[in-house]
Amino acid sequence: MFKVRQDEPQYAFLNDKESATHNRYGTPIDTVAEQSALRGESLNINADREVGENPNRYKQHGFFFTADNCIACHACEAACSEKNDNPPHIAFRSVGFVEGGTYPDYRRQNISMACNHCDDPVCLKGCPTRAYTKFAEYGAVLQDPDICFGCGYCTWVCPYNAPQLDPVKGQVTKCNMCVDRLEVGLKPACVSACLGKALEFGVVENKPEDRDQAKTNIPGFPDHNITHPNIRFQQTRTLNRDMVRVDSTPIKYHRDDDKGQYESEVDKNALRQRSWGIKTLLNSHENAHAIFTLCVQAVMGAFSLLLIGQLFSITGLAILPEISGFSYMLWVMVAIMGIGLFKLNMHLGKPHRFYRGFYNLRHSPVSREIAGVSAFFGGLKGVAFFSLFSGGWAVLLGALSAALAALGVMVGGYYMYKLYRIKARPFWDHWQTASSFVSTMLTLGALILAFFVLITGNMASLPLLGSVVVVGLLLEAVGLYQHSKDLKAGSGEGQASHYDQTTQFGKSYYLRNGLIVINVLMAIGLMFASDITVVLVIILSLSILVSAYLGRIIFYTVVIPTTMPGAFFWKNKGFVEHARESGLADMQQLGVAYEQHHAFDTVALVKTVKEVFAKS
């Protein structure tokens, strides 16, 4: 048990005499029923089997933040990092701010934020490895870094930037509510350290002494409806009409007098120059995702076209399997899949723990995507393998494999899209993500087949494939048009993403859009040209690949989550980028770590396999 000092000051002790039965969302504050078997168990902290005697052990707890009072002294962050022994680049809690007004009528509002141990923990649901648990004790959402394989999906879905992906260790860690302190009746370390009388903690919906509000919103805090976070606010001082961010994110929070609260909006005062932003695009941590999705969608597209051609006896497609060399093409598809999967797997913090991706089929779209894509990959390999043989059994097994692959396309394809429908990421949370993915399947899938017919000299199929490309590109164009329209009318984060993609990455963005138009024209040419030249196909292919890749890395780079505002240096993605580019980040005490690749640790994997066998 955590040791309480003899001279522990009174303010450090929890002080909830009464509490409500339900929170404002109608969820019981008691985390489990009186008789639940989950009661009376040890939290087993560092293998300590004792059970805490906190009388409110089974009540949902949460932070209370008096925004008027926070002075950005960083004592909460320091106390947290000291207790959790975190290196400078990791922070379970951090303080950012928004500011507004004109000198001297100026106000800065600081926001200290950690994990909100939500009623609906999207991190827990999203995590493919089931590294997260929402405990009956205090309603704490805890994460086990040993289980985590470092995919970072929880950092995508959390609206509060609570999970911290450590590029050095290749795993996520996060706020643990200081449950060890709660067990002995002490408030968390950050709360006990607060010097501004801003941060408090207790059973949720309880107001600390001398506080009369318990709001769910302050400017800069994301929509509480996404996760029902267990944090309440007091914010009584009048702020300026516009409160802007200073963390290189072009967002301000504008007062809506009718709603009586602040809504995010794009802040065009950032005065961004239109540029290529190519360095940022190419260095994005999510590049592996760009390559993975493009490869998988291309191959799924090609496979689907073949399957549809077979099922519906579409001439231009149905003849392809008859062409000699077809099985080579299947193996090429297997190879492209392999590249995509390799890139994805190797971007994990712990690539050798890939198998944990299946652990959360019950909740996680990532697990389901991985399962679907794996089924497809397996099926595709089966199809390719059995195509090497003739005979009824080979046909039958080939057909079964094809069925598995088709199921994989449906499940994998759907969840590959579904996993981007993240409420905290409005740029992705749009049907355009689906139209873009389907477009990629059609265009790149048709291209794979086009190359095959070109090489084997079966030009007759080209017009049909050309029309598929045209349909695919048009679908992309329609999606992008509607997307930009909806972004401009939507939330501040969506607006800001669009602002970034048309300014900071504007030249790349418009090049991609221009390429789509050119590609449509070239593809139409392909449909109608009497004399198809190989050169045209190659130019078109290259142009499509460039546009697809450019589009995809823009998709990953410009997304702006509905997350907490950062400060000028700390939690400022612009400064992080500058530090990495200029070499400032070489100084370890700067608190900026470089992105890193993590080795596939075969030894660790073999050890685990041996342990599993030893157990069974």
Partner 1 sequence: MLFGRNKKNPIKMADKQVKDWKYATCGYCSTGCSIEVGLNEEGKPVASRGVGGADVNRGKLCLKGIFEHELFDSDGRGTEPKIRGSFREDWQTTDWDTALDQTFADIRRVQEKYGRDSVAVISTGQMLTEEFYTLGKLTRGLIGTNNYDGNTTLCMASAVSGYKRSFGSDGPPGCYEDFDETSLLIAWGSNLPEQHPIIYWRMKEAQEKSGFPLIVVDPRVTMLAQNADRHLTITPGTDVVLMNSMMYVILDEGLEDRRYIEANTNGIEELEAEVAKYDPVTAAKICGIDEDSIRAVARQFAGAKTAMQIWTMGINQSTHGSDGVVGINNLALITGNIGIAGGTSLSITGQCNAMGTREWSSCSGLPNHRFLENAQDREDIAKFWNVDPEFFPKKRGMLQTDIYQAMELGQIKGLWLIATNPMTSLPNTARIRRAMEQLEFCVIQDCYADTESAQYGTVYLPAGTWAEKDGVMTNTERRINVVKPVVKPHGNSKPDLWIFNRMAERFNEEGKVNFSEKASDIFLEMGVLSEGRLSDNSGMTHALIEENRGIQWPYTKIQAENGEAPAKGGVRLYTEETTFRYADGKAKLIPLPFIDNNEVPDDRFPFWLNTGRLIEHWHGRTKTGKLGNNNKYSPIPFAEMSPDAAKELGVVAGDYIRLISRRSDAIVMAQLTHRVPKNMVFVPFHFHDCANRVVLGLLDPHSRQPAYKQSAVQIERIADQAGAAKMSMEMRKF
Our separate counts of H helices and E strands in the chain read: 18, 12
Q: Which residue, 150 or 382, has its beta carbon nearer to partner 1?
A: 150
Q: What is the closest distance, in whole angstroms, from the C-beta atom of residue 271 to partner 1 in the complex?
A: 6
Reply yes or no: is the peptide bond before residue 188 cis, omega within 30 of 0.
no
31 binds partner 1 (CB under 8 A): yes
Q: Which residue, 115 or 306, has its beta carbon nearer to partner 1?
A: 115
Least Cα distance to 172 among 349, 354, 419 occurs for 349
Q: What is the closest distance, in whole angstroms, from the C-beta atom of residue 8 to partner 1 in the complex?
A: 5
Which range binds partner 1 by CB under 8 A, 42-50, 256-264, 302-310, 379-387?
A: 42-50
Number of residues engaging partner 1 in binding (CB under 8 A): 91
- The answer to whether the Cα torsion of 409, 412, 418, 419 is positive or negative is negative
Residue 521's identity, in one-letter code, is L
How many angstroms separate the Cα of 374 from the Cα of each of 215, 287, 436?
45, 20, 22
Q: Which residue, 31 or 287, has its beta carbon nearer to partner 1?
A: 31
Which range binds partner 1 by CB under 8 A, 255-263, 289-297, 442-450, 570-578?
A: 570-578
CB 553 within 8 A of CB 545: no
H-type alpha helices, 529-601: 534-557, 573-582
| Distance, CA of 107 to CA of 298 (rounded, Å) | 52
568 binds partner 1 (CB under 8 A): yes
580 binds partner 1 (CB under 8 A): no
Q: What is the closest distance, in whole angstroms, from the C-beta atom of residue 37 to partner 1 in the complex?
A: 11
CB 157 within 8 A of CB 115: no
611 binds partner 1 (CB under 8 A): no
The bridge status of strand 105-113 relative to strand 132-134 is unpaired
Backbone φ and ψ for 559, nearest 5 degrees, come out as -60, 130
The bridge status of strand 242-245 relative to strand 251-256 is antiparallel
Options 136, 154, 175, 475; binder of partner 1; rule CB under 8 A: 136
Q: What is the closest distance, in whole angstroms, from the C-beta atom of residue 470 to partner 1 in the complex?
A: 42
Q: Which residue, 136 or 204, has its beta carbon nearer to partner 1?
A: 136
- Touching partner 1, residues 382-411 (CB under 8 A): none
Q: What is the closest distance, in whole angstroms, from the C-beta atom of residue 57 to partner 1 in the complex?
A: 14
| Distance, CA of 233 to CA of 291 (rounded, Å) | 42
Least Cα distance to 223 among 174, 264, 255 occurs for 264
- Number of neighbours of residue 7 by Cβ within 10 angstroms: 5
Q: What is the closest distance, in whole angstroms, from the C-beta atom of residue 418 to partner 1 in the complex?
A: 19
Q: What is the closest distance, in whole angstroms, from the C-beta atom of residue 9 to partner 1 in the complex?
A: 4
Options 39, 89, 421, 580; binder of partner 1; rule CB under 8 A: 89
Options 18, 35, 103, 613; binder of partner 1; rule CB under 8 A: 103
Q: Which residue, 313 or 582, has its beta carbon nearer to partner 1?
A: 582
Q: Which residue, 199 or 444, has its beta carbon nearer to partner 1?
A: 199
Residue 138's identity, in one-letter code, is Y
| Distance, CA of 347 to CA of 43 (rounded, Å) | 33
213 binds partner 1 (CB under 8 A): no
Which range binds partner 1 by CB under 8 A, 302-310, 321-329, 537-545, 590-598?
A: 590-598
| Residue 389, both tokens | 């043989």
Binding mask 137-166 for partner 1 (x = CB under 8 A): -----x-xxxx-------------------
Options 57, 134, 187, 252; binder of partner 1; rule CB under 8 A: 134
| Distance, CA of 509 to CA of 511 (rounded, Å) | 5
> Ramachandran region of residue 205, left (φ > 0), alpha (ψ -120 to 50) or beta?
left
| Distance, CA of 239 to CA of 101 (rounded, Å) | 8
CB 109 within 8 A of CB 239: yes
- DSSP letters for 430-455: STHHHHHHHHHHHHHHHHHHHHHHHH
- Touching partner 1, residues 114-133 (CB under 8 A): 120-121, 124-125, 130, 132-133
Q: What is the closest distance, in whole angstroms, from the C-beta atom of residue 129 to partner 1 in the complex?
A: 10
CB 113 within 8 A of CB 93: yes
- Touching partner 1, residues 317-356 (CB under 8 A): none
First-to-last alpha carbon distance for the chain, in angstroms, is: 34
| Residue 26, both tokens | 């109608």
- Touching partner 1, residues 517-556 (CB under 8 A): none
Q: Which residue, 99 or 500, has its beta carbon nearer to partner 1?
A: 99
- Touching partner 1, residues 48-87 (CB under 8 A): 68-69, 71-75, 77-79, 81-87
Q: What is the closest distance, in whole angstroms, from the C-beta atom of residue 237 to partner 1 in the complex?
A: 8
Which range binds partner 1 by CB under 8 A, 297-305, 325-333, 545-553, 568-576?
A: 568-576
Options 180, 200, 286, 500; binder of partner 1; rule CB under 8 A: 180
Q: What is the closest distance, in whole angstroms, from the C-beta atom of residue 104 to partner 1 in the complex?
A: 5
Q: Which residue, 197 or 421, has its beta carbon nearer to partner 1?
A: 197
Backbone φ and ψ for 315, nearest 5 degrees, come out as -50, -55
